[in-house]
Amino acid sequence: MVLKDRSAWTGTPRSATDTDQTASLSLAMIGTRGVPAAYGGFETAVEEIGRRLVERGHAVTVYTRGSAARQREYLGMKRVHLPAAPAKQVETLSHTGLSVLHAIGTHRPDAAFVFNAANSPFVPVLRARGIPVALHMDGIEWKRSKWGARGQAYYRWAEEFGVRTADALIADAPGISDYYDAEFGVPTELIRYGAPVIDAPDATGVRGLGLSPGGYHVAVARFEPENHVLEIVEGYHASEATKPLVVVGAAPYSAEYTRRIEAVAASDPRIRLLGAVYDQDLLDALYAHAYTYIHGHSVGGTNPSLLRAMGAGTPVVAFDVNFNREVLAGQGWFFSSAADLAPQFATVEAHPGLAAEFAEAGRRRVASVFTWSGVTDDYERLARRLARGASVHPLARHARRSADGRG
């Protein structure tokens, strides 16, 4: 159930000031690598939303880690840089714990946005000090095999704990909202990601890689089974495509999975593995000048890479799950296996007119539905409700996973 009826929320204003819809708020953003954005979707969201909230007169504190930058302010946002344990298993949790201690010890924000359901154990700490919390649940992380059995069990527990302890739950796709409704019977806030509309970026970087604008297919993803990079390269290898496939990404966790991808690529001179690309201008150019974008993500919600490709005016061939179909509004090609994908390459290359139609439809959809200004509107409205004392917690604190175990 997406929370459309705000009367379902309970709570009373903390003060008369909190009811003022024009009052400036003090807001904290916790649980990401912070700003400047240089890693993933959460960091980009924090930067895009945070700077717009600052432009609207709010004070925004972003907790950061792992960045060489040490400036105290970025695009008007206050940066608090704190250390994190070097071990991957506890890096995020250790940093979030320190961030929460700093937030409750040095200032009391009117509301906190905590990103990643894994950080849910710290939500009660903030709430105990009177700081209302919106928890961004991300995708259905416990389904990702990269975490291993223990990690998956932890994510599954943390998801349920977050449902029971947060004042608001943020879902970035209708499918995620439906999941929490079905699993726990609790309402969520449907707040998307945004993306820019990218118009004719410079192709110099693309040509510098030996690629021709409009003359290649591109896939951008971390090398994880749930992103189906192996199926993409296997499907392409079995295809009769004439345009090369360029794969952007790396594998932070799975060496064996990477080796399998590399083995397929090594057997087909049409496939190029570029590794990770952190230059956003070059990445945007790779999206914009590709003939198609191949999107294999399957367990997240609204995916930033997919939105970026759509905003760049690139037609999409996507893995067939409800998240991707909803984002694309059905305007693209879809696959469910390597065998299913193989003939798609020849099909898309043979139909440039249809590809152009899908490209324009995607660009229009980003411009109308997935704007950062609209996303910021939603975050601002949610922050004001939280500051007034609204909370879903009384309804959700006894929630338990559905008995059928569908999740």
Question: What is the full per-residue pLDDT of the chain (407 aa) written as tens digits?
Answer: 334 333 345 544 444 344 467 899 999 999 999 999 876 688 999 999 999 999 999 999 999 997 766 789 999 999 999 999 987 778 999 999 999 999 999 878 999 999 999 999 999 999 999 999 999 998 777 677 767 788 889 999 999 999 999 999 999 999 999 999 999 999 999 999 999 999 989 999 999 999 999 999 999 999 989 999 999 999 999 999 999 999 999 876 678 999 999 999 999 999 999 999 989 999 999 999 999 999 999 987 899 999 999 999 999 999 999 999 999 999 999 999 999 999 999 999 999 999 999 999 999 999 999 999 999 999 999 999 999 999 998 878 888 887 554 44
Global pTM reads: 0.90
So where are the chain's domains? 6-194+371-396, 204-369
> What's the pLDDT tens digit per position in 194-224?
999 999 899 999 999 999 999 999 999 999 8
Same topology between domain 6-194+371-396 and domain 204-369: yes
State how far the Cα of 114 lies from the Cα of 75, in Å rounded to an integer. 20
- Exposed, middle or buried by CB within 10 Å (0-12, 13-18, 19+), for 387? buried
- Supply 341's token pair: 């994908």
How would CATH label the architecture of 204-369? 3-Layer(aba) Sandwich (3.40)
Q: Supply 63's token pair.
A: 């907790």
Sign of the dihedral defined by the CA atoms of residues 96, 194, 66, 219, in that order: positive
What was the pLDDT predicted at 207? 98
Handedness of CA 281, 285, 287, 288 (dihedral sign): positive
pLDDT of residue 106: 87
Instruction: Note the pLDDT of residue 6.
Output: 38
In the structure encoding, which two tokens stand for residue 42, read together?
A: 């959460």
The amino acid present at 128, given as its one-letter code, is: A
| Single-letter residue type at 228 | H
What SS3 class is residue 189? strand
Beta bridge partners of 2: 188
Sheet holding 26-30, edge to edge: 73-74, 77-81, 59-64, 26-30, 111-115, 133-136, 168-171, 189-190
Class of domain 6-194+371-396: alpha beta
